[in-house]
Amino acid sequence: MEWQRLETLKEKLQKDDDFQGIWTYFFDHLGENEAFVSVGESANEKVIEFIGPVVARTVSHILGRPIQIMQMQLIEITGQHFYHGSAISREGLCVIMYFDDIKMGMISFTQGLGSGQMHYGRFTTLAVEGAAKKTVILPTNNQTGH
């Protein structure tokens, strides 16, 4: 496996403002790569319990109303501090990527089947003073898009 592609994704996640481009890079270079997919294993429940509320708060922030995640599946790329997967809510489907070593991730959220609308959000799990239990969305020029 060419791990440099994962490092490139990590750099893009931290710096790029073209969220759609970040997801395109992921799917073109990693998500559809057999060697990459084959090294993944189901993430343990503690990781899912940690990321689930963060994803729910991020999507709630984007939609402007609370949502609840009904089902989440995450795959860990062993030894790379990287997780990816999906979450389902009544409001739609969310695709997730998260780098544990930099405590940063991104979601792509499709609201309802057939809506054609895609929302993106970048988040951090770093503790931010005065922001207990609040989602921190990193500043960007295109927090959501379609």
DSSP codes joined into one string, 86-134: EEEETTEEEEEEEETTTTEEEEEEEESTT---EEEEEEE-S--TT-TT-
pLDDT confidence of 1, banded at 50, 70, 90? low
The yes-or-no verdict on residue 123 having pLDDT over 60 is: yes
3 domain-assigned: no
Q: What is the pLDDT of residue 113?
A: 66
Share of the chain above pLDDT 70, in %: 84
Question: How confident is the model over 21-46, as pLDDT tens digits?
Answer: 999 999 998 988 888 878 899 999 99
Share of the chain above pLDDT 90, in %: 62
Number of domains in the chain: 1
Contact 3, 12 (CB under 8 A): no
Coil, strand or helix: which one is 40? strand
Domain of 83?
Answer: 41-124
Mean pLDDT of 101-123: 87
71 domain-assigned: yes
Residues 6+ apart with CB under 8 A from 117: 110, 111, 146
Coil, strand or helix: which one is 60? helix
18 domain-assigned: no
79 domain-assigned: yes
77 domain-assigned: yes
